Amino acid sequence: MGVGFRMFIIKFGGSVITDKKQKYTFERSTILRLISEIKEAQKRTLVVHGAGSFGHIMAKEYELHKGYKNEGQIQAAAGVQKDVKHLNLMVLDSFLEIGISAVSLAPSSFVINENGKIKSMDMGSFKRYFDMGFTPITFGDVVLDDAISFSICSGDQLMLELARTFLPEKAIFVADIDGIFSSAPQSDESPKLLPTIDEDIFLSIKKSDSHVDDVTGSIYGKLEIMFEIASLGLETIILNGRVENRLKEALQGKDIVCTKIESRH
Ligand code: IPE
């Protein structure tokens, strides 16, 4: 593959880089700080970002995750593709502003789904750009689907495919929360952060009743993918990107407040 050392793969969740409840709200200062932390840690990365309010609201309204059902969806799918590209351009701008030479790779042109899951993904460009010293960035998108015409490719699924190909030193999910709690922090008086979570604990956690729009399975779908990454034998963590230096210290290998995903498979 030509990659001489292991890099980190990082997903900036849509909840960190946008306000998920309000359309088109880009958290510019947060993303700039997070990118500065990558720069200060001096680590090579592949970066994925979610869609947040730039994708989920309209995708849910038109049920784009369920594939083609009616003509009205075509305009909506085109609109969501444009909106996530718009968000991506702002993320890309932020990387360049901090001095990291990022290049953007849009899943709509190199990912094919089948029933909402990635069926094939061309990794060639990631490898070539990375080997030259670029930082490839990709993002949750609307993509072609061999079974249902089009569907959503989530940033989490992209993380899994990148993890399989590049076997990174760590897979880091940057969220707006410290990690996974024993019960939903909004509804419990004294929620407890779980430093580690395994499949048994996962199954026993009660389903969160968050009303945030999400077409890619909310935290449960995301956790399932994180378990798949962990089962590859890769260190997989979820940390709070709203707290300064957590990302930097995770990249530096320090002990930080987070939840580590542990798979027994
Ligand atoms: C969603 O991607 C993509 C679209 C809705 C088009 P993600 O599922 O990775 O986004 P976040 O992180 O939940 O916002």
Beta bridge partners of 62: none
What does the pLDDT read at residue 204? 80
What does the pLDDT read at residue 191? 81
- Each as own residue / partner, the long-range contacts of residues 160-164 (CB below 8 Å, 24 or more positions apart, any chain) are 160/118, 160/225, 160/228, 160/229, 161/118, 161/121, 161/123, 162/9, 162/46, 162/48, 162/123, 162/126, 163/9, 163/229, 163/232, 163/234, 164/232
Q: 8-261 — its CATH code? A: 3.40.1160.10
Here the tokens at position 66 are 């369920």
Q: Which residues of 112-148 are buried (b: 16+ CB within 10 A; e: fewer)?
A: ebeebebeebebeebbebbeeebbbbbbbbbbbbeeb
Residue ranges in the chain modelled with pLDDT below 50: 1-3, 206, 209, 211
Q: Is 160 in the pocket of ligand 1 (CB under 6 A)?
A: no
Ligand 1 centroid to 155 CA: how many Å? 6
Ligand 1 centroid to 4 CA: how many Å? 31
Q: List the one residue out of 184, 149, 168 whose CA is nearest residue 73.
A: 149
Phi-psi region of 144 (alpha: psi -120 to 50; beta: other; left: phi over 0): beta
Q: Is 107 in the pocket of ligand 1 (CB under 6 A)?
A: no
Q: Is 88 in the pocket of ligand 1 (CB under 6 A)?
A: no
Q: List the one residue out of 65, 67, 48 whose CA is nearest residue 106.
A: 48
Ligand 1 centroid to 107 CA: how many Å? 12
Q: Is 83 in the pocket of ligand 1 (CB under 6 A)?
A: no
Ligand 1 centroid to 187 CA: how many Å? 24
What does the pLDDT read at residue 200? 87
Q: Is 55 in the pocket of ligand 1 (CB under 6 A)?
A: yes
- 242 burial type by CB count under 10 A (0-12 exposed, 13-18 middle, 19+ buried): middle
Q: Is 59 in the pocket of ligand 1 (CB under 6 A)?
A: yes
Separation CA 191–CA 123 (nearest Å): 40
Q: Is 241 in the pocket of ligand 1 (CB under 6 A)?
A: no
Q: Is 116 in the pocket of ligand 1 (CB under 6 A)?
A: no
What does the pLDDT read at residue 3? 47
Beta strands in 141-262 (DSSP E): 141-145, 149-153, 170-175, 196-197, 235-240, 259-261
Here the tokens at position 18 are 């946008």
| Predicted model pTM | 0.93
Atom of ligand 1 lying closest to residue 14 CA: 14
Query: Which sequence spans correspond to the domains of the chain?
Result: 8-261
What does the pLDDT read at residue 206? 47
